[in-house]
Amino acid sequence: MKIAFLADPLSTFKIYKDSTFAMMREAAKRGHAVYAFEQRDMVLEEGVVSAVVTRIHLTGETDAWYRADRPESVRLSFFDAVIERKDPPFDMEYVYGTYLLELAERQGARVFNRPGAIRDHNEKLTIGQFSQYTSPTLVTSSAARLRAFHEKHGDVIFKPLDGMGGAGIFRVKDDGMNLGSVIESLTANGRHTIMAQKYIPAIKQGDKRVLVIDGKPVPFTLARIPQGNEVRGNLAAGGLGVAQPITAREREIAEAIGPELAARGLLLVGLDVIGDFLTEVNVTSPTCFQEITDQTGFDVAAMFIDAVELKATEKH
């Protein structure tokens, strides 16, 4: 198979923990041809979506980890699979990229996750479709409603709808200290819609990343445990990643919503679960492959490439 990865610059990869690298390594191990390109490399010309892509060969070394062939311009439908792995921010450039990929799909390209499905599933707001699994949640730009929510629940997490890596997350406890400032800052004085959630004390045991591949949960999760006085468990915010067997509750949530999300074109999903509650549904470039594999021996990348091989050979 010929597999192209739409990703951030290869020079930015930290290969000891990068999930996209783990996917590439597994694909190459199976004899698949691996290509890479960036979002800016895509072109729509005369109705055809193409990209300037580079075939890469993994060297097995730590620093010079790949060798690149000469870049070439090809239609995206040339590939058996295109893996969308560009990290947020989910800005308008990202949205334009999904439009181009969607056009490429109409020309025969197989894209995972499907670009329209990525665009339709905001990683914060999607939990609203599965509210039976969430803690009390409010989405609004109204300061009055946000204040009332805090008054009702006492200990509340406030966060933007377009954040990543724990950026912009605030906890306001029962005393309400800095409540007004947090609301004003995050909503830009009522111009931006944000999310408020009742604080879940189980965050002390970790914000669990539950990976779901083609509707099936990976049997191990990564608990991202906040360190020191930090309220955020995100690895980017200094959280400690500890792999653990999936719990009965986490499996229940994953098996309930995973198949539905897979049917919508989301081959790989990262559910965030704190305690008994679903807090986010990550669809852009879910990670934690290598941390789980390194600590448990379960090969997450192999499970993912198995799914890509199966889906890429299915009839449209």
Catalytic residue annotation: 124, 159, 209, 224, 232, 272, 280, 282
Do 305 and 26 touch, CB atoms closer than 8 A? yes
Contacts of 189 (CB under 8 A, 6+ apart): none
Cis preceding-peptide flag for 178 (omega within 30 of 0): no
With beta carbons less than 8 A apart as the criterion, state whether 195 and 253 touch. no
Identify the CA nearest to 156 among candidates 188, 198, 186, 94: 198
**End-to-end C-alpha distance for the chain, whole angstroms:** 17
**Exposure class string for 96-129: b at 16+ Cβ within 10 A, else e:** ebbebbbbbbeeebbbbbbbbbbbebbbbebbee
Q: Is 300 left (phi over 0), alpha (psi -120 to 50) or beta?
A: alpha
